[in-house]
Chain A
Amino acid sequence: MSEFVVEARDLRKVYIMGDVEVHALRGLSITVDPGEVVSIMGPSGSGKSTLMNMIGCLDRPTSGDYWLDGERVENLNDDQLASIRNRKVGFVFQTFNLLPRATALANVELPLRYAEKVKDRRKRAKEALEAVGLGDRIKHRPNELSGGQQQRVALARALVTNPAIVMADEPTGNLDSKSGDEIMELLLRMNADNGTTLIIVTHDPEIAAFTQRIIHIRDGVVEHETKGAKQ
């Protein structure tokens, strides 16, 4: 058990492409406190996406130890990883990744459907949509919503399971600056209201500036950390 919500020690990840070994992570260690808002920055090829996949339990490290919310993850099988993701991680993607044929409500309900024994799925999904200000749009399909609204649906979907962390990968990348700011505000308010730990992966220094701590990654290791504007 640790006091951190995310604790990674000496993470290494090696991809084998043909006969070339690609070292995406080379002994990276980070910790994130509960309720913290952290951003991860780095140029492309720095191992940023790989790190995000490790933290979000989408992939397993080649070696190293990783605890998410007190649970060791690096040795779990695929189905156990799926269960961890379902319970502990909320994802927000750059391209929203909503099911195009499903209504906003059905999209938000989706993670609850894969969870075990959840009552009031519909009610919880509806509340999550109301929390992001889309209470009047629950029957709309993604193509009937603006980009900002779609990302808010995605946000509601990430939060509906009350996850330990929310992973946001370039959450404002596909939005105009006004919608982007709205999304950031919403994310930060969720953090303030519920104490949800927030990890944002971004290129954009302006977005990173919203966070408490900026972790700079280069060549698979943490290069340095800086403080963000939010305190």
Chain B
Amino acid sequence: MNIWRSFIEALESLISNKLRSSLTILGIVIGVGAVIAMLAIGQGAEESITGSIQGIGTNLMFVFSGGSEEVNNPKPLTLGDAEAIADPFQAPSVIGVAPTLQGNAEVSFSGESTVTSVIGVTPDFSPVRNFNVSEGEFINEVHMLGQAAVVLLGTEVAEDLFGRKAGLTGETVRIEGQPFRVIGILEEKGGSSFGSQDDQVLIPMTTAQARLIRRSTRDSVDVIFIQAITAEAVPQATEEIAQILRARHRTAIAEDDFTIFNQQDFLETAAAITGVLTIFLGGIAGISLLVGGIGIMNIMLVSVIERTREIGLRKALGARKKDILVQFLTESSLLSLSGGLIGILLGWIISLIVGSIAAANDADITPLIGMDAVLLATLFSTAVGLFFGLYPANRAANLEPVEALRYE
């Protein structure tokens, strides 16, 4: 009896009992559907989180003042520190440095006002933090030298003050009562793990120092954003920056008065969290697959009992143990395989629905169905059918022909 023949026969037998076959595979359909959907959503969430972290600026590191709790009187970071880090001889792994001064201030325009964060930046802020303007121009060296009273608005601030996000270049807003000319609007970034990046305004660093944000040390800065040449160079760059700052701040050994944070840390944390989440969801889905397999075993056992006479007849006509075994195994694996294929379809539909619900709620999750997940589901469901079909098939194969023929 060849495989093709037993495949056709198994198919006929399953089709002749449509309702039962479809109820039997329901467990597998739901199991595989759940696995596919969960993996797709998990992967989509990971992509989304990774994407939003990368959106902050590639290969980014942050340096701010203050180290572990034991370190007393940390020295503030200064523009001098930033310049030293920007020196390619001292820190060859660094490609961009953007010191910032940050504070909160009231921004107003003809009666409308909002309190938002005002950041004093250098022209390098744009490439380092991956901030671009949707209209107008970014802060440049001329603005810096002239301590110009110019400002770039985030879209949320623009919305609050003007009720629109475009066509605002050339308007004048007041920050803490001082007039600033709007030279551009920042591209919309959306929310991130650091709060909205659209609810802020940027002004030249020099202007901030001179007119808005006073610090005890004249040239101190709050956060220095640093871009490494590549993602792989981040650890190297971290080391170089630490060396420079230790030397400049004359810190004792193991008492750094600054902290260097990099994006890689965030990415790794996020990947670990979503990885655990995916395993967790996949595990739950796997349990339903197991339950589906037991359902198949149950039905196959019933089917063996029902068809005892048929098995007896086949044996009387010359079927060997192997023939009966193959017949029942083909049936059970065909059952679970078709359940698996329908389940893949179901999982795809579920992840489409979840994707559109997420999109409707402004959460940027696009579920991704990997080829590996599909392949895994197909193989796994067939294996489930084979495994759970083995016991019933073996029982059928070991029936005594005399007993089986006499069975009523």
Known: A58-B402, A91-B316, A97-B313. A113 touches B5 (CB 8 A): yes
Asked if A85 and B316 sit within 8 Å, CB to CB, the answer is yes
- Confirm or deny: A127 has a beta carbon within 8 angstroms of a beta carbon on chain B: no
Looking at the assembled complex, report how far the CB atom of A154 sits from the nearest CB atom of chain B, in whole angstroms: 10
Our pick among A58, A79, A83 for the contact of B405 (Cβ within 8 Å) is A58
Our pick among B309, B318, B323, B400 for the contact of A97 (Cβ within 8 Å) is B309
Q: A-facing mask of B375-408, CB < 8 A → 1, else 0?
A: 0000000000000000000000000111001000
Our pick among A58, A83, A87, A114 for the contact of B1 (Cβ within 8 Å) is A114
Closest residue of chain B to A160 (Cβ to Cβ) is: B317
Asked if A79 and B320 sit within 8 Å, CB to CB, the answer is yes
Asked if A114 and B323 sit within 8 Å, CB to CB, the answer is yes
Chain B contact residues, majority secondary structure: helix
| Bound form: Cα–Cα A79–B322 in Å | 9
Asked if B313 and A82 sit within 8 Å, CB to CB, the answer is no
Our pick among A78, A101, A111 for the contact of B317 (Cβ within 8 Å) is A111
- Which A82-111 residues have a C-beta within 8 angstroms of B? 82-83, 85-87, 91, 93, 97, 99, 101, 110-111
- Confirm or deny: B72 has a beta carbon within 8 angstroms of a beta carbon on chain A: no
- Confirm or deny: B321 has a beta carbon within 8 angstroms of a beta carbon on chain A: yes
Asked if A157 and B317 sit within 8 Å, CB to CB, the answer is yes
Our pick among A53, A59, A86, A101 for the contact of B318 (Cβ within 8 Å) is A86
Which B residues are CB-close (under 8 A) to A114? 1, 314, 317-320, 323
- Confirm or deny: A76 has a beta carbon within 8 angstroms of a beta carbon on chain B: no
Looking at the assembled complex, report how far the CB atom of A119 sits from the nearest CB atom of chain B, in whole angstroms: 14
- Which B309-344 residues have a C-beta within 8 angstroms of A? 309-310, 313-323
| Bound form: Cα–Cα A91–B1 in Å | 20
- Which A58-84 residues have a C-beta within 8 angstroms of B? 58-59, 78-79, 82-83
Which B residues are CB-close (under 8 A) to A110? 314, 317
Known: A58-B402, A59-B402. A111 touches B16 (CB 8 A): no
- Name the interface size band of chain B: 20 to 34
| Bound form: Cα–Cα A99–B323 in Å | 16
Which A residues are CB-close (under 8 A) to B1? 113-114
Looking at the assembled complex, report how far the CB atom of A97 sits from the nearest CB atom of chain B, in whole angstroms: 5
| Bound form: Cα–Cα A115–B323 in Å | 11
| Bound form: Cα–Cα A79–B401 in Å | 12
Asked if A91 and B317 sit within 8 Å, CB to CB, the answer is yes
Which B residues are CB-close (under 8 A) to A97? 309, 313, 405
Asked if A58 and B316 sit within 8 Å, CB to CB, the answer is yes
Known: A101-B12, A114-B1. A82 touches B320 (CB 8 A): yes
Asked if A58 and B310 sit within 8 Å, CB to CB, the answer is no
Asked if B316 and A56 sit within 8 Å, CB to CB, the answer is yes
Closest residue of chain B to A85 (Cβ to Cβ) is: B318
- Which A127-156 residues have a C-beta within 8 angstroms of B? none
| Bound form: Cα–Cα A183–B316 in Å | 21
Which B residues are CB-close (under 8 A) to A87? 318
| Bound form: Cα–Cα A53–B403 in Å | 11
| Bound form: Cα–Cα A99–B307 in Å | 10
Which B residues are CB-close (under 8 A) to A56? 316
Known: A58-B401, A114-B320, A114-B323. A82 touches B315 (CB 8 A): yes
The 4 residue pairs across chains A and B that have the minimum distance between CB atoms? A86-B318, A114-B318, A111-B317, A79-B320
> Knowing that A93-B405, A114-B320 are A-B contacts, what are 17 other residue pairs whose CB atoms are under 8 Å apart, sorted by A's residue number?
A53-B402, A59-B402, A79-B320, A82-B319, A83-B318, A85-B315, A85-B318, A97-B405, A99-B313, A101-B12, A101-B13, A111-B317, A111-B318, A113-B1, A114-B1, A114-B317, A115-B318
B-to-A contact residues, CB < 8 Å: 1, 5, 12-13, 16, 309-310, 313-323, 400-402, 405
27 contacts between A and B (CB under 8 A): A56-B316, A58-B401, A58-B405, A59-B400, A59-B402, A82-B315, A82-B318, A82-B319, A82-B321, A83-B320, A85-B317, A85-B318, A86-B317, A87-B318, A97-B313, A97-B405, A99-B313, A101-B12, A101-B16, A110-B314, A111-B317, A113-B1, A113-B5, A114-B314, A114-B318, A114-B320, A114-B323
